């Protein structure tokens, strides 16, 4: 019986194990150092905010693994010997494998500034980060000190989540973002401004855009963080005193343990379009995988939940069927939540207008929601969509992309894509009339049709 060893029990590794079990009878071992059972890392923030308990982040009950004959090992892999097809665990046990899946995910990047070793600096990625932050928060809240402050560095998803977490505990927070626009690498200026306004509407949040972290400071003879030095644009540096520094400047593949192996790595583990590394029967998926030939418009490393899951499903097919299945990620999609504003994106839409693209943007300022469609100037076909504060059906948009639907068609049929809760205030009529005014057309919003929504083509 073939033995498949999976290193990492995150969404990539767990998806592989589950789908492998559905399709094959092989022996499956799932190794993780962090926690014996799969949990949803994205939900750690909810545990901190007291919405959930840690056990609620675990999607499967503990009996699930035994019942599905997935062996769990809680340990750290320190070496991979591809010649002997063997891995070495921290406790010096060796495990032989027939297929090896590397799904070790990411680790937070370290702040590249002086003082980054001080106490009171942490990321928010692992379960133990949650525990450390909880303890630090409690002791911070207990202090008599008047002016408490936490600094969050980095305007990505984890950054904004950390800010929300601090806000939920009434801790004043300074939010240092390098870009001039919040989330400006992904969103347009107007979208970014909408979010900035929303973030700033929460009192106690000091958002600093276009600001660089220069140094982390401590009191004399102390190893504890006391302040940070930042610089807005090219102005005079400023010192902000603080009690904790939360770092969220991005993640990088977590693959140090492969240094001594024959597996080819760059930033991540290099894989072909079949998710195989340079060595047969060794695969890499999820955040730690780096595609040698990514699709156009896609990154070689995508540290995204959904990518990891699709990779896991694909690889499970390959291993179970002994027939290499190509990784085809399909249309790009992603989602996030910035405080109370949900964000969804489908298809191809980047921050800046590219080549022969054109954009349609509608915003409802009072409701804090917006819709942006990216379409081709030449044939008017819709290429991608961003929504803030609105929920859209993924399947409907993907169908429209496949059918090369033109912008007018999409504008008229937005009700088909609307996924907002029942009785929500509609936006379609407003969007249509705004479009008509802008492009001098006379489009009409079409009523939702279940037939169209569920038709395959």
Partner 1 sequence: MLQRIHDIKILLRIKKLGLVLFLKGLSIFTALIFFVNFKASNQEITDYFLDQSIDNEVFEVKLKDRLNLINSCNIFQFSDVISNTLETVNDSYKSNKQWDKVVWISPQQISFDLAKKNTTNFIVQHSWKIFFMTIGLGILGSLLYIYANAVLEKSKGIYKGAIYKHKSTNKGWIAWLTTIYLIGFYLILYFRPNWAVNWTFIIDPISEFLNGQKASQWFLYGFLYCMVMLVMGVRMLIKYQNNNYQKIRTICVVFFQIVFAFLIPEIMTNLGLPAYDFKNAFPLDYDFFFDWNLDRLLSSGNIGLFILVWGVFLTLVIVPIFVYFFGKRWYCSWVCGCGGLAETLGDPYRQHSNKTLNAWKWERLTIYSVLLFSLFMTLVVLYTYIFNANEFLGFSAYQVRGSYSFLIGSWFSGVIGTGFYPIFGNRIWCRFGCPLAAYMGIIQKFKSKFRITVNGSQCISCGNCSTFCEQGIDVRSYAQRNKDIVRASCVGCGICSSVCPRGVLKLENIPLNCSSSKKI
Binding site for partner 1 (CB under 8 A): 11, 40, 42-43, 46, 49-53, 56-59, 61, 168, 170, 172, 198, 203-204, 206, 305-306, 309-310, 333, 335-337, 339-340, 342, 344, 368, 391-395, 398, 419-425, 450-451, 453-456
Instruction: For residue 252, give the nearest of 240, 242, 238, 266 by alpha carbon.
Output: 266
d(C-alpha 224, C-alpha 217), whole Å: 8
Q: Considering the complex, what minimum distance in angstroms separates the CB of residue 337 from partner 1?
A: 4
Identify which of residues 42 and 218 has a Cβ nearer to partner 1 in the complex: 42
Token pair listed for 443: 């489009």
* DSSP track, 231-274: EETTS--EEEE-SEEEE-S-EEE--GGGTTSS--BSSSEEE-TT
Identify which of residues 58 and 241 has a Cβ nearer to partner 1 in the complex: 58
Identify which of residues 35 and 393 has a Cβ nearer to partner 1 in the complex: 393
Q: Give the pairing type, strands 121-122 and 244-247.
A: parallel
Identify which of residues 8 and 115 has a Cβ nearer to partner 1 in the complex: 8
Q: Considering the complex, what minimum distance in angstroms separates the CB of residue 363 from partner 1?
A: 16
Q: Give the pairing type, strands 70-74 and 27-32.
A: parallel
Identify which of residues 169 and 380 has a Cβ nearer to partner 1 in the complex: 169
Identify which of residues 323 and 457 has a Cβ nearer to partner 1 in the complex: 457
Q: Considering the complex, what minimum distance in angstroms separates the CB of residue 52 from partner 1?
A: 5
Identify which of residues 365 and 442 has a Cβ nearer to partner 1 in the complex: 365
Identify which of residues 181 and 304 has a Cβ nearer to partner 1 in the complex: 304
d(C-alpha 125, C-alpha 263), whole Å: 26
Q: Considering the complex, what minimum distance in angstroms separates the CB of residue 301 from partner 1?
A: 19
Identify which of residues 447 and 451 has a Cβ nearer to partner 1 in the complex: 451
Identify which of residues 178 and 337 has a Cβ nearer to partner 1 in the complex: 337
d(C-alpha 228, C-alpha 192), whole Å: 26
Identify which of residues 190 and 393 has a Cβ nearer to partner 1 in the complex: 393
Q: Considering the complex, what minimum distance in angstroms separates the CB of residue 179 from partner 1?
A: 23
Q: Considering the complex, what minimum distance in angstroms separates the CB of residue 57 from partner 1?
A: 5
Burial 396-432 (b: 16+ CB within 10 A, else e): bbebbbeeebbbbbbbbbbbbbbeeeeeeeebbeebb
347 DSSP β-pair partners: 384
C-alpha angle 217/227/209, rounded to 5°?
115
For residues 214 and 224, the answer to whether their CB atoms sit within 8 Å is no
CB contact set of 379 (below 8 Å; sequence gap of 6+)? 404, 406
d(C-alpha 400, C-alpha 384), whole Å: 10
* DSSP track, 28-87: EEEEESS-SS---GGGHHHHHTTSS-GGGG-SS-THHHHHTTEEEEE--EEEEETTTTEE
Q: Considering the complex, what minimum distance in angstroms separates the CB of residue 96 from partner 1?
A: 31
Q: Considering the complex, what minimum distance in angstroms separates the CB of residue 338 from partner 1?
A: 10
For residues 167 and 183, the answer to whether their CB atoms sit within 8 Å is no
For residues 11 and 32, the answer to whether their CB atoms sit within 8 Å is no
Q: Considering the complex, what minimum distance in angstroms separates the CB of residue 317 from partner 1?
A: 16
Q: Considering the complex, what minimum distance in angstroms separates the CB of residue 189 from partner 1?
A: 22
Q: Considering the complex, what minimum distance in angstroms separates the CB of residue 200 from partner 1?
A: 12
């Amino acid at each position: 019986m073939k033995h498949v060893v999976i290193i990492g029990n995150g969404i990539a590794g767990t998806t592989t194990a589950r789908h492998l079990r559905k399709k094959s009878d092989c022996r499956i071992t799932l190794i993780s150092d962090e926690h014996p059972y799969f949990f949803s890392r994205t939900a750690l923030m909810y545990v901190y905010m007291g919405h959930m308990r840690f056990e609620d982040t675990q999607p499967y009950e503990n009996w699930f693994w035994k019942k599905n004959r997935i062996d769990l090992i809680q340990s750290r892999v320190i070496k991979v010997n591809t010649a002997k097809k063997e891995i070495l665990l921290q406790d010096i046990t060796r495990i032989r494998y027939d297929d090896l899946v590397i799904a070790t995910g990411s680790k937070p990047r370290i702040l590249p500034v002086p003082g980054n070793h001080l106490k009171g600096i942490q990321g928010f990625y692992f379960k133990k980060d949650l525990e450390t932050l909880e303890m630090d928060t409690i002791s911070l809240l207990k202090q008599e000190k008047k002016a408490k402050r936490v600094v969050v560095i980095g305007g990505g998803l984890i950054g904004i989540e950390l800010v929300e977490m601090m806000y939920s505990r009434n801790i004043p927070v300074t939010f240092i973002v390098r870009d001039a626009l919040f989330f400006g690498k992904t969103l347009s200026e107007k979208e970014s401004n909408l979010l900035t306004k929303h973030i700033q509407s929460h009192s106690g949040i000091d958002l600093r855009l276009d600001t660089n972290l220069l140094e982390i400071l401590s009191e004399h003879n102390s190893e504890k963080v006391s302040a940070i030095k930042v610089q807005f644009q090219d102005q005079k540096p400023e010192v902000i005193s603080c009690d904790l520094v939360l770092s969220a400047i991005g993640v990088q593949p977590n693959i140090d343990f492969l240094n001594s192996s024959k597996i080819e790595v760059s930033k991540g583990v290099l894989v072909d379009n079949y998710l195989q590394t340079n060595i047969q029967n060794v695969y890499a998926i999820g955040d730690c995988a780096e595609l040698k030939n990514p699709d156009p418009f896609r990154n070689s490393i995508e540290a995204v939940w959904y990518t990891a899951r699709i990779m896991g499903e694909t690889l499970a097919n390959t291993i179970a069927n002994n027939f290499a299945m190509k990784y085809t990620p399909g249309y790009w999609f992603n989602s996030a939540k910035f405080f109370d504003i949900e964000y969804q994106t489908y298809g191809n839409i980047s921050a800046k207008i590219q080549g022969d693209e054109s954009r349609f943007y509608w915003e409802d300022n009072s409701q804090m929601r917006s819709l942006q469609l990216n379409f081709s100037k030449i044939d008017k076909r819709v290429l991608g969509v961003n929504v803030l504060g609105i929920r859209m059906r993924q399947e409907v948009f993907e169908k429209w992309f496949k059918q090369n639907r033109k912008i007018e068609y999409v504008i008229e049929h937005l009700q088909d894509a609307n996924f907002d809760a029942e009785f929500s205030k509609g936006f379609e009529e407003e969007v249509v009339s705004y479009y008509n005014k802008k492009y001098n057309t006379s489009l009409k919003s079409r009523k939702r049709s279940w037939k169209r929504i569920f038709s395959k083509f």
